[in-house]
């Protein structure tokens, strides 16, 4: 469904007329004012913010009409009221609105409330959010990234403070947050209790529908709504825009066209294509991602954030071949993970970018081996095929991309990833690689936000990765560590406006700095 783009250049006369109409909230015969006021059910969200536009999101608890006021002051003295749009059952009462013609480098405040469709004068309480538009000048930029929310059955536990990593990120007042995938764990049931290592119980908040794997559209929607019950996440969303991408657990573990559910008794729906379609609809309805009329459901995109930064979001799920050995020596549709169309787009946009830093937000790391079958250590789920040799299979696309970046003299490309449930800093050195036609680059890994902690994974030497830092469970600690053990991670990035330097910090949920490196911008060509 196409989302309407809304300009804030609305006339003052129209604003005053709309505002005045809202003051006559007379009691209606047979209408309970308290019971019939629609509510904002799961907080606010904003996302995909650039210098002149941004998406906002909310959900009503019933059919309703959303009213939005937009201002550049917290007092809303200069507020403009936008045309109302409806929250309908077809989208589970979730509504997104694109605000356009915004001033650059400006804090934007938005206030929304829902009105009863049958009695428009009966309105719910207003809720306020904010975001800052991207600059057109070289000002300082700060953002955070991570992935993996509510995985492995570790849901919202009030006794542990809920999803505390969101609160830790929020304390840094970032310009935006990159959620690097696994926004939900559709395949991970959330039970009332889970056993903690060493004894004791983890007690989850539970809601109807989350105790089984998600199969129906409503069940996929329900996982997003479950996460939004967390107070830390809702407070974070009201203050910080989120730029989302997805990964496997947004549909099912290790999702690819080759996934076979015939023997998986948890699923009545056996079609991966059907599950992916339902998951994609829920993903676009329940997150503040932008909309592409020419390609509904598209996730890959570029968000320009001023002269110092362009962010390129990849989708390694929708266009991949089936998981398997991935040892082809020539590129075929079966060996792709990025896909031909997305790769052409990425090369073109990288070449056109004039930003100092080009951040590639990728849901999966390049050089870490992620097995499709962990027990047998076979099959390729990510990019690396584990043979430690020349580029083959899915590695061929990455080799082609790195060769293009090198030949085109594209400077200052940094990869930010998640997926593996620990944090690390990797430096890719062509002098130590089997494939050497590329310039050195950094890849930083973070996560989980609120899920089990695993790792570390073995590195594949095809592209010469060097581990500069790693924080993962020890053998003695084991795997699937709960959030209460503190090994939940996020990355913090600062770009200094004056020098253009990028400083990357790897942090834990207690806001402790684990690693820090400052990168000087290079000039190529």
Q: Within this chain, do residues 88 and 204 fall inside the same structural domain, yes or no?
A: no
How far is Cα 50 from Cα 310, in angstroms, rounded to an integer?
Answer: 10
Q: Which of 94, 112, 132 is the last residue of a domain?
A: 132
Q: Within this chain, do residues 250 and 341 fall inside the same structural domain, yes or no?
A: yes
What is the secondary structure of 205-247 as a DSSP string?
---TTTTS---SHHHHHHHHHHHTT-HHHHHHHHHS-EEE---
Distances (CA, A) of 178 to 115, 140, 373, 416, 477: 32, 17, 28, 9, 29
Q: Which two tokens stand for residue 302?
A: 């570029």
**What mean pLDDT do residues 316-345 have?**
96
Kindly report, residue by residue over 75-114, the tens digit of the pLDDT. 999 899 999 999 999 999 999 999 999 999 999 999 999 9
User: Which stretches of 105-172 are DSSP H helices?
Assistant: 164-170
**Among 452, 441, 436, which Cα is nearest to 489's?**
452
**What mean pLDDT do residues 216-225 have?**
98
pLDDT of residue 9: 39
Cis peptide before 448 (omega within 30 of 0): yes
Residue 314 has pLDDT above 80, yes or no: yes
Neighbours of 297 (CB within 10 A): 14
Residue 201 in domain: yes
Residue 27 in domain: yes
Contact between residue 80 and residue 15 where contact means Cβ atoms under 8 Å apart = yes
Residue 252 has pLDDT above 80, yes or no: yes
CATH classification of the domain holding 224: 3.60.21.70
Residue 524 in domain: no
Q: Within this chain, do residues 175 and 318 fall inside the same structural domain, yes or no?
A: yes
Distances (CA, A) of 2 to 44, 92, 217, 252, 429: 20, 15, 19, 27, 45
Cis peptide before 456 (omega within 30 of 0): yes
What is the secondary structure of 172-203 as a DSSP string?
T--SEEEE-S-SS-TTS---SEEEPTTS-EEE
List, in sequence order, every beta strand (DSSP E) within 381-501: 413-417, 423-428, 441-445, 465-471, 489-495
Q: Within this chain, do residues 107 and 231 fall inside the same structural domain, yes or no?
A: no
Q: Within this chain, do residues 168 and 103 fall inside the same structural domain, yes or no?
A: no
Q: Which of 97, 132, 167 is the last residue of a domain?
A: 132
pLDDT of residue 198: 87
Q: Within this chain, do residues 87 and 188 fall inside the same structural domain, yes or no?
A: no
Q: Which of 82, 113, 132 is the last residue of a domain?
A: 132
Q: Within this chain, do residues 404 and 302 fall inside the same structural domain, yes or no?
A: yes
Question: How many residues are listed for the chain in this entry?
Answer: 525
pLDDT of residue 34: 77
Q: Which residues contact 498 (CB under 8 A, 6 or more apart)?
A: 138
How far is Cα 465 from Cα 118, in angstroms, rounded to an integer?
Answer: 61
**Among 502, 503, 475, 471, which Cα is nearest to 489's?**
471
CATH classification of the domain holding 120: 2.60.40.380
**Among 517, 513, 495, which Cα is nearest to 504's?**
517
User: Which stretches of 287-434 are DSSP H helices?
Assistant: 340-352, 395-407
pLDDT of residue 24: 32
How far is Cα 271 from Cα 105, in angstroms, rounded to an integer?
Answer: 46
Q: Within this chain, do residues 204 and 120 fall inside the same structural domain, yes or no?
A: no
Q: Within this chain, do residues 262 and 383 fall inside the same structural domain, yes or no?
A: yes
Q: How many domains does the chain have?
A: 2
**Among 146, 184, 143, 165, which Cα is nearest to 444's?**
146
Question: What are residue 360's DSSP bridge partners?
Answer: 312, 415
Kindly report, residue by residue over 11-48, the tens digit of the pLDDT. 333 333 333 333 333 344 555 567 889 999 999 999 99
Residue 245 in domain: yes
Q: Within this chain, do residues 468 and 367 fall inside the same structural domain, yes or no?
A: yes
Calculate helix-pair angle for 272-286, 217-227, nearest 10 degrees: 40
How far is Cα 113 from Cα 189, in angstroms, rounded to an integer?
Answer: 33
**What mean pLDDT do residues 117-135 have?**
95
Whole domain around residue 45: which residue ranges? 5-132
Residue 365 in domain: yes
Q: Within this chain, do residues 206 and 128 fall inside the same structural domain, yes or no?
A: no
pLDDT of residue 108: 98
Residue 525 in domain: no
Q: Which two tokens stand for residue 276?
A: 């992916």
Residue 5 has pLDDT above 70, yes or no: no
- H/E segment holding residue 16: helix 12-21
How far is Cα 44 from Cα 58, in angstroms, rounded to an integer?
Answer: 5
Round to the nearest angstrom and report the end-to-end CA distance of the chain: 43
Q: Within this chain, do residues 401 and 424 fall inside the same structural domain, yes or no?
A: yes
Residue 7 has pLDDT above 50, yes or no: no
How far is Cα 282 from Cα 218, in angstroms, rounded to an integer?
Answer: 8
Q: Which residues contact 172 (CB under 8 A, 6 or more apart)?
A: 142, 144, 492
pLDDT of residue 294: 87
Kindly report, residue by residue over 178-207, the tens digit of the pLDDT. 999 999 999 999 999 999 998 999 999 999
Query: Which pTM does this prediction carry?
Result: 0.93
How far is Cα 22 from Cα 524, in angstroms, rounded to an integer?
Answer: 58
**Gyration radius (Cα) of the chain, Å:** 23
Residue 213 in domain: yes
Residue burial 352-377, b: 16+ Cβ < 10 Å; e: rest: ebebbbbbbbbbbbbbbbbbbeeeee
Residue 453 in domain: yes
pLDDT of residue 524: 62
């Amino acid at each position: 469904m196409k989302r309407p783009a809304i300009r804030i250049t609305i006339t003052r006369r129209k604003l005053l007329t709309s505002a005045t109409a809202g003051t006559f909230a007379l009691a209606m015969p047979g209408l309970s004012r308290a019971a019939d006021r629609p509510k904002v059910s799961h907080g606010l969200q904003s996302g995909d913010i650039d210098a002149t536009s941004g998406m906002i999101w909310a959900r009503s608890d019933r059919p309703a009409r959303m009213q939005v006021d937009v201002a550049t002051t917290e007092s809303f003295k200069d507020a403009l009221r936008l045309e109302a749009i409806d929250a309908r059952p077809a989208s589970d009462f979730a509504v997104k609105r694109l605000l356009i013609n915004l001033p650059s480098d400006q804090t934007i405040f938005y206030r929304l409330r829902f009105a009863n469709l049958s009695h428009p004068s009966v309105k719910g309480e207003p809720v306020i959010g904010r975001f800052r538009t991207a600059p057109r000048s070289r000002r300082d930029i700060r953002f955070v990234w991570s992935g993996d929310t509510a995985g492995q059955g570790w849901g919202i536990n009030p006794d542990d403070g809920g999803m505390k990593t969101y609160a830790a990120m929020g304390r840094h007042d970032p310009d935006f947050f990159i959620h690097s995938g696994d926004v939900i764990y559709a395949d991970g049931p959330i039970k009332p209790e889970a056993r903690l290592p060493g004894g004791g119980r983890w007690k989850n908040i539970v809601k109807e529908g989350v105790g089984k794997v998600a199969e129906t559209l409503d069940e996929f929607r329900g996982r997003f709504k479950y996460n939004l019950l967390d107070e830390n996440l809702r407070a974070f969303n009201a203050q910080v825009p989120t730029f989302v991408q997805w990964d496997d657990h947004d549909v099912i573990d290790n999702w690819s066209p080759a996934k076979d559910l015939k023997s998986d008794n948890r699923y009545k729906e056996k079609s991966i294509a059907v599950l992916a379609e339902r998951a994609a609809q829920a993903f676009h309805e329940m997150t503040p991602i932008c909309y592409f009329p020419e390609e509904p459901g598209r996730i890959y995109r570029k968000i320009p954030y001023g002269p110092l930064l362009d962010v390129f979001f990849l989708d390694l799920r929708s266009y991949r071949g089936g998981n398997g050995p991935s040892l082809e020596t020539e590129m075929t549709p079966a060996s792709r993970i990025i896909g031909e169309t997305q790769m052409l787009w990425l090369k073109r946009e990288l070449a056109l970018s004039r930003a100092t830093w080009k951040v590639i937000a990728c849901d999966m790391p390049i050089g870490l081996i992620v097995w499709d079958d962990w027990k047998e250590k076979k099959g390729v789920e990510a990019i690396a095929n584990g043979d430690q040799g020349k580029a083959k299979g899915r590695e061929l696309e990455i080799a082609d991309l790195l060769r293009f970046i090198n030949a085109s003299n594209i400077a200052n490309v940094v990869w930010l990833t998640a997926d593996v449930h620990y944090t690390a800093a990797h430096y890719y050195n062509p002098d130590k690689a089997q494939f050497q036609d590329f310039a050195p680059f950094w890849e930083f890994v973070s996560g989980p936000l609120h899920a089990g902690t695993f790792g570390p994974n073995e590195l594949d030497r095809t592209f010469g990765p060097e581990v500069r830092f790693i924080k993962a469970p020890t053998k003695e600690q084991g795997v699937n560590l709960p959030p209460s053990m503190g090994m939940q991670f996020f990355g913090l990035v600062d770009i200094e406006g004056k020098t253009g330097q990028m400083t990357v910090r790897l942090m834990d949920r207690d806001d402790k700095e684990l690693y820090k490196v400052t990168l000087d911008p290079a000039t190529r060509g």
